[in-house]
Structure 1
Amino acid sequence: MERTMLNITHRDRKINMWVREKIKVTNVIEQGRRGKWTWVGHVSRIRDNRWTLRIITWKPYERKIHRRRPARRWRDELDDYWKGTIWQRIAQDRQLWKQHAEIFAQ
């Protein structure tokens, strides 16, 4: 679609980064990760007992263990990034959270 917007084909031998530079389109995956980061930071700063905060901290009681690989949860990315630190506490500091947002999105 992006190449069609510029009226070029693969035969013109232009790389994708060049095409995106010309169109000035942001990467959708990067935008999605940045949006997730800001949402999680916002929700973890909520003080009352709303369902969104309960969803972040909820762990299922007893689950049947399947023989297949476990499904990847959205918070697994955050746990991998912070590697053992409690990211809910770090999210309380807005400035520190915003500094890590750019690193996480890349």
Structure 2
Amino acid sequence: MLGITRLTQVRAGIRSSTLREQSKIRDAAAYAKLSKIRWAGHVMRLNDHRWTRPVSDWTPRDVKRTTGRPPTRWSDFFTKSFKERYNALRVPRTDRIHWTTLARERDKWKDCWRPLGTSEDQRVSSKGNPPGLGQQVVV
């Protein structure tokens, strides 16, 4: 795409993140994480009796977890991600708010996961729509 081979990249000391920025390719791990976050918000807002929400909340009582490092649970992922992203200015009392409660309110959920560099004042849309509709202009 950019015409840079791996050998050229190593010799020149070019980071893969720099090449991704130049080619405008998304980081696969970051995209997967955001997709998981988006899906979790969608599932928590479902009001009908589909199986997706009960399965997400389900904890088997009769099965013991294996020894060694346990696999990450769905809720463990969000708890860890919130601890990484939250700061005191964005959401007060973050330790007391459960991720499922935030996910049920779409605007709050989207505000929790918007880029850290943008503030509420910087999110202005071109048609006067409320922030969070996918339009972002830095003033």
The verdict on how the C-alpha distance between 1:65 and 1:74 changes in structure 2, with shifts beyond 3 A counting, is closer
For residues 15 and 110 of structure 2, what CA distance do their matches in structure 1 show?
Answer: 32
The verdict on how the C-alpha distance between 1:19 and 1:54 changes in structure 2, with shifts beyond 3 A counting, is same
TM-score for both structures, normalised by structure 2: 0.62
For residues 62 and 115 of structure 2, what CA distance do their matches in structure 1 show?
Answer: 35
Alignment coverage as a number of residue pairs: 101
Partner of 2:90: none
Q: Structure 1: which 5+ residue stretches go unaligned?
A: none
Q: Is the 8 A contact 2:56 2:74 kept in 1?
A: no
Higher relative contact order (CA 8 A, sep 6+): 1
Residue 6 of structure 1 aligns to which amino acid in structure 2?
G
How much does 1:103 deviate? 5.4
Stretch of structure 1 that moved more, 58-67 or 46-55: 58-67
Q: Is the 8 A contact 1:44 1:88 kept in 2?
A: yes
Identity of aligned residues (%): 28
* RMSD, aligned CA: 2.3
For residues 62 and 36 of structure 1, what CA distance do their matches in structure 2 show?
Answer: 27
TM-score for both structures, normalised by structure 1: 0.78
Give SS of 1:7's match. coil
Partner of 1:87: 99
